[in-house]
Amino acid sequence: MSDNKMNNGRPLREQEQFSLNDDRRVKVLSPGALVVKRFLRNRLAVLGMAMLVVMFIFSFIGGMISPYGEDEQFYTYEYLEKEYAGVVENNELRYTTAEGKEFGSLLQAKVQMAKNKGETSFEDKGVKYEIIAEGDDFLSITADGEPLTVASRDIVSSVGEELSFDVKFAALVASAEEQSSFEVDGTAYELDAEGDILQGGEVVGSVSRFVVQPAQTGTKIPDGFKEAVAQAIAAEQEEFTFADAEGKEGNYKLTWKPATESWSVTQEVETYVYDRYLSPNREHWLGTDTNGMDMLTRLMYGGRVSLIIGFIVVIIETGLGVLFGGISGYFGGWVDNLIMRIVDVFYCIPSMPLIIILGAAMDAMKVDPQIRMLYLMLILGFLGWPSIARLVRGQILSLREQEFMTATEACGIRISRRIFRHLIPNVIPQLIVICTMSLGSTIITEATLSFLGLGVKFPFASWGNIINDVNNAFVMTHYWFIWIPAGICLLITVLGFNFVGDGLRDAFDPKMKR
Amino acid sequence: MRKFIIKRVALSALILLCVTFIIYGLLRCLPGSFIETQAMTLSQAPGAKSYEEWIAQLNEQYGMDKSIVPGYFVWFKDAVRGQFGDSWKYVVPVTQKFSEVIWLSFVMNGIAFLLELLIAIPLGVVAATKQYSRADYGITAAALVGISLPTFFFATILKLVFSVKLGWFDLYGIVGRNYAQLDSMGKLLDKANHLVLPIATLVIVSVGSLMRYTRTNMLEVLNSDYIRTARAKGLSEHRVIYHHAFRNTLIPLVTIVGGSLPTLFSGALITETLFSIPGIGYTSYQAMVSGDIPFSMFYLAFMAVLTLASNLISDILYAVVDPRVRIS
């Protein structure tokens, strides 16, 4: 025989001569090899296998290669337009009252009444008030001959130290009479064309028609800001820069709002934010999600979670199913009856609603996401075993009547060994098929639960909870890269399992022609 | 036959008893967030009783003060008389809410089921008769894609394409914005329009399994001896397939279709929730998430009854349709 096979250490196939009834004339394949051969002939099954391999590499090796972590967040500087102040052109009389005196709204109303009647004086509580028209829309009021208040559309605002009433009054008069200088208490002031009040070449205040109010209470409008706004409005600029007393420069935008007849000033503020919903680019191939995490990395870790959950659930299911199915099928009688009634009960429990209720309860108990994942696997596994138990029992019922079982009995092998060493291995083909198929459906169930927010929770990624973002309709319509890739990964994986399961079913079936 | 049915019904009743007890026990063991939340709100009102007092009062009011076993028997006694209590979330009797929403689910599932039959059976037969042809591969692959599609993902894609991009349908709900102004025909059309996407989702996601079932059974029949005999007699291929083979394929099909009839009432939990269709699925989803025990209990028991009913129907139909089963 060795002469035939070897010639100078090399096999010589061509020269081999066998007799007609020699086994070596026919290529003999083991049953396993036949199954593999049949499986590889099925194009869909091979395609499914390839899909699975790709997804496994993507999920388990991808996470290692990816430069980012599962929950690494990315930040960016962003310029936000923040409402800073509102500017209104003053159209009504505003009162500026001398220091230490009061001019309440009652008196203001009386002024208006007197003005409407054309009177120039009125009395209130024994005090005689006189109204003097100093110019258009500019009144001054004296109480018993002493200057008390001025009413004007123009407003004098101070830069730095608050200007005294006398200075304000004089400035308003000068502005109304279009003079370029005035004098108060021996100090000379100048009034330039833009309405700035200068004292010795330095701006101390201004006369303008604009009122600036901060958009948020508590914000202090810096000195000189109003002048800058007035200038910008006068020059019809839409943008201007303004440096406050400390020299910090800011960009501001002016927009006219016709509805309220006012300008709004927005400030550009630089903020440090999560880099959310970033479109795909070189650094983040699939962009970033709502928390500023790299989408591709999330997908890889999500795949790992989905696949691991799928496998553990199927292992639990199969373990329980084989155990109960094996015992039930082998012993028959009342044991079989009891176990099958338990199976019937489990079959009848509506699993999806029950898992939803349990998920909601875990929400109420605020279970830690990691422990929650464990519970999820246990629940899914515990609800899934009856179908496997039925399959195993059915197969074993017919197998145990065969001769090899009588032989094991005759050999005195103990019962557990008879069931799990001699019966179960004969069920393995069907088991592999049903496990492959149920891997796919388990992954879908887990994804659905995570999508509803009742399965795997943040910070863990799962394909389902990545797609969960579409509950925000804006994300659904504008950020395809958030949810389409996750859905495609899910589809490819489940499809892979189903193709392979289908192919295995055909390959294991000895009746198949091919 | 009669004895068989009676035995099966009695067994089903026993299983139902076990199932409802397990569900009841589970629901009671879980922290009922509903009562706690309500007690919290009530106790925060000015001058209200303390949280503990409210909890005690609400527990008594809702019949939650009994322990599980006596509580279950109270529930069971009422349930047998058709009283399932008041829903906590919807504040109406459970059965009233149920009768409001069930028909929408039934219509939706019914249409979807009819479409599934119309698509799945012919395609399954074609795939089986032309086994390993391009058509067979195409149909098998399409069926598997349908099975593998996660409902929520597919529904979202449909929404994106048909609601957002094309604007043909609304994103959510069963009625449009101007529903109140429409006449009765318009109202019907409006509702129909809103059901298109949910039904499309249901059909595409679940048509695959029926298609594969048809194909498998048809293949089995085509491999049997009497088909070979029919061919040997020289019958036309058309007659062999549609007269001899298809009628035998109908046996398992009729049983599975009959068995599916009760599940038409079960609603489509996920699809209804995704499209906010106020059927039994969506209504129960909201009740379950908010911890509404009476409604959840009713819904789960109802689902259990449906499962038992469909098993029973398919078993009986199998005996009715297939004479071979009856003889043995």
Over residues A33-66, the pLDDT tens digits come to 888 888 888 888 999 999 999 999 998 888 888 7
Q: Is the pLDDT of residue A2 over 70?
A: no
Are A486 and A48 in contact, with CB atoms under 8 Å apart?
Answer: no
Residue A343 is classified by DSSP as H
Task: Give the nearest chain B residue to A496 (CA atoms).
Answer: B148
Confidence of residue A246 (pLDDT cuts 50, 70, 90): low
Lowest model confidence (mean pLDDT) among A303-312, B174-183, B305-314: B174-183
Q: What is the pLDDT of residue A199?
A: 79
**Could you tell me if A427 lies within 8 Å of chain B, comparing CB atoms?**
no
Contact A364 B299 (CB under 8 A): no
**Which residues from A are below 8 Å from B299, CB to CB?**
353
**Count of residues in chain A:** 514
* B170: its two tokens: 């609304």
Q: Nearest Cα to B116, choosing from B268, B281, B245? A: B268
Q: Is the pLDDT of residue A512 over 60?
A: no
**Could you tell me if B9 lies within 8 Å of chain A, comparing CB atoms?**
no
Tracing tokens 């299983």 back to the chain, one arrives at: B15
**Which residues from B are below 8 Å from A467, CB to CB?**
152-153, 156
Query: Does the bond joining A222 to the residue before it have cis omega, within 30 degrees of 0?
Result: no
In this complex, the residue of A349, A490, A498 whose CB is nearest that of residue B153 is: A490
Q: Is the pLDDT of residue A9 over 60?
A: no
Q: How far apart are CA B328 and CA B326, in angstroms?
A: 6
Half-sphere exposure of A76 (CA within 13 A, CB side): 12
Most confidently modeled of A204-213, B71-80, B136-145? B136-145
Angle at which helix A424-451 crosses helix B151-158, to 10 degrees, equals 40
The stretches of A212-332 forming alpha helices (DSSP H) are 225-234, 295-331
Q: What is the pLDDT of residue A115?
A: 77
The stretches of chain B forming alpha helices (DSSP H) are 2-29, 33-43, 51-61, 68-80, 94-129, 134-148, 151-158, 184-222, 225-232, 237-239, 246-260, 269-275, 280-289, 293-321, 323-327
Task: Give the nearest chain B residue to A451 (CA atoms).
Answer: B152
Q: Nearest Cα to A453, choosing from A428, A470, A475, A436? A: A470
In this complex, the residue of B148, B152, B269 whose CB is nearest that of residue A440 is: B148
Tracing tokens 């089986």 back to the chain, one arrives at: B128
Q: Nearest Cα to A450, choosing from A440, A465, A439, A461? A: A465
Pairing of strands A138-143, A181-184: unpaired
Q: How far apart are CA A119 and CA A113, in angstroms?
A: 9
Confidence of residue A1 (pLDDT cuts 50, 70, 90): very low
The stretches of A57-198 forming alpha helices (DSSP H) are 62-65, 105-117, 165-176
Q: Nearest Cα to B86, choosing from B55, B61, B113? A: B61
Contact B16 A356 (CB under 8 A): no
> What's the pLDDT tens digit per position in B272-281?
988 989 999 9
**Which residues from B are below 8 Å from A353, CB to CB?**
269, 284, 288, 296, 299-300, 303
**Which residues from A are below 8 Å from B307, CB to CB?**
347-348, 350
**Which residues from B are below 8 Å from A444, CB to CB?**
148, 150
Q: What is the pLDDT of residue A15?
A: 55
> What's the pLDDT tens digit per position in A371-387?
999 999 999 999 989 99
Interface test with B, best of A55, A348, A505 (most B CBs within 10 A): A348
B residues 162-181 near A, CB within 8 Å? 164, 171
Average pLDDT, chain A: 81
Interface test with B, best of A47, A299, A340, A357 (most B CBs within 10 A): A357
* B66: its two tokens: 């009994």
Q: How far apart are CA A323 and CA A393, in angstroms?
A: 10
Q: What is the pLDDT of residue A263?
A: 77
Q: How far is CA B284 from the centre of its chain?
A: 12
Dihedral pair phi/psi, residue B234, rounded to 5°: 90, 20
Interface test with A, best of B40, B147, B148 (most A CBs within 10 A): B148
Provide the ipTM: 0.87
Burial (Cβ within 10 Å: 0-12, 13-18, ≥19) of residue A241: exposed
Contact A487 B160 (CB under 8 A): no
What is the average per-residue pLDDT within A151-174?
A: 76
> What's the pLDDT tens digit per position in B109-155?
999 999 999 999 999 999 998 888 889 889 988 999 999 999 999 99
Tracing tokens 């420069």 back to the chain, one arrives at: A249
Residue type, B76: F
Higher pLDDT among residues A441 and A509, named by residue: A441
Q: What is the pLDDT of residue A63?
A: 80
Q: What is the pLDDT of residue A218?
A: 66
Q: What percent of chain A has pLDDT over 70?
A: 92
Lowest model confidence (mean pLDDT) among A152-166, A420-434, B220-234, B312-326: A152-166
Confidence of residue B204 (pLDDT cuts 50, 70, 90): very high
**Could you tell me if A453 lies within 8 Å of chain B, comparing CB atoms?**
no
Q: How far is CA A46 from the centre of its chain?
A: 37
Radius of gyration of chain A from its Cα atoms, rounded to whole angstroms:
44
Residue A73 is classified by DSSP as B
Average pLDDT, chain B: 87
**Could you tell me if A351 lies within 8 Å of chain B, comparing CB atoms?**
no
**Which residues from B are below 8 Å from A348, CB to CB?**
15-16, 19, 304, 307-308
Residues facing residue A42 across a β-bridge = none
Q: Is the pLDDT of residue A357 over 80?
A: yes
**Which residues from A are below 8 Å from B140, CB to CB?**
44, 502
Higher pLDDT among residues A491 and B50, named by residue: A491
Are A349 and B22 in contact, with CB atoms under 8 Å apart?
Answer: yes
3-state SS class at A510:
coil
Pairing of strands A249-257, A121-124: unpaired
What is the average per-residue pLDDT within B222-246?
A: 90
Q: Is the pLDDT of residue A6 over 50?
A: no
DSSP element (H, E) containing A443:
helix A424-451
Residues facing residue A132 across a β-bridge = A140
Contact B303 A444 (CB under 8 A): no
B residues 243-282 near A, CB within 8 Å? 269-270, 273
Contact A360 B288 (CB under 8 A): yes
* Helices and strands counted in chain A (H then E): 17, 17
Q: Please state, in angstroms and as integers, the Cα–Cα distance from residue B297 to each residue in B27, B73, B88, B226, following that order.
A: 8, 13, 12, 51
Q: Please state, in angstroms and as integers, the Cα–Cα distance from residue A163 to each residue in A151, A205, A209, B168, following that order.
A: 17, 8, 17, 67
Interface test with A, best of B7, B22, B105, B144 (most A CBs within 10 A): B144
Q: How far apart are CA B71 and CA B152, in angstroms?
A: 37
DSSP element (H, E) containing A87:
strand A75-89
Half-sphere exposure of A342 (CA within 13 A, CB side): 16
**Could you tell me if A512 lies within 8 Å of chain B, comparing CB atoms?**
no
Q: How far apart are CA B194 and CA B159, in angstroms?
A: 12
- Count chain A–chain B contacts defined by CB atoms under 8 A: 124
Q: How far apart are CA A423 and CA A439, in angstroms?
A: 24
Q: How far is CA A168 from the centre of its chain?
A: 56
What is the average per-residue pLDDT within B311-323?
A: 84
Q: What is the pLDDT of residue A95?
A: 78
**Could you tell me if A360 lies within 8 Å of chain B, comparing CB atoms?**
yes
Q: Give the distance between the most distant pair of CA atoms in chain B.
A: 93
Q: How far apart are CA A273 and CA B30, in angstroms?
A: 40
**Could you tell me if A44 lies within 8 Å of chain B, comparing CB atoms?**
yes
Count CB atoms within 10 A of the CB of residue B206. 21
**Could you tell me if B149 lies within 8 Å of chain A, comparing CB atoms?**
yes
Q: How far apart are CA A343 and CA A326, in angstroms?
A: 13
**Count of residues in chain B:** 328
Confidence of residue A10 (pLDDT cuts 50, 70, 90): low
Q: Give the distance between the most distant pair of CA atoms in chain A.
A: 144
What is the average per-residue pLDDT within A110-134?
A: 78
Residue A294 is classified by DSSP as B
